[in-house]
Amino acid sequence: MPRKIRELIAVLESHGFVDRGGKGSYRNFTHPRVNRPVTLSGRLGQDAKKYQEKAVEAAISEAKQ
C-alpha cells in the first residue's frame, strides 16, 4: 500500500529537509547536502506516486553521504 504525501513530508523533515514552499499543491524541500530540491505534489491525504517515493529515498540517501 503506498504511503501518503503527509508521511513523505514527515520523513523528509525528520532528515533535515526544509519546506521552501511552492505554488498550489506543490512543495519544494531542500537540504544543504542535496544538489536539487525534492518536489512533492498533491494534497496531504493522497497516496504518493512511486516516483515520488523513489525521489524521497534518493534524496535521503544523498543527504546521508
Question: Which pLDDT tens digit goes with each residue over 34-54?
Answer: 999 999 999 999 999 999 999
Q: Which amino acid is at 63?
A: A
Give every CB contact of residue 15 below 8 A, 6+ residues apart in sequence. 31, 60, 63, 64
Instruction: Flag whether pLDDT at 1 surpasses 90.
Output: no
Q: Which amino acid is at 50?
A: K
pLDDT tens-digit map of 24-37: 999 999 999 999 99
Report the pLDDT value the prediction gives residue 54, as an integer from 0 to 100. 97
Comparing CA positions, the residue from 55, 60, 57 lying closest to residue 27 is: 55
User: At how many degrees (to 10) do helices 50-64 and 5-14 cross?
Assistant: 0
- Give the pLDDT confidence score for residue 65 in this predicted structure: 84
pTM of the model: 0.93
pLDDT of residue 46: 96
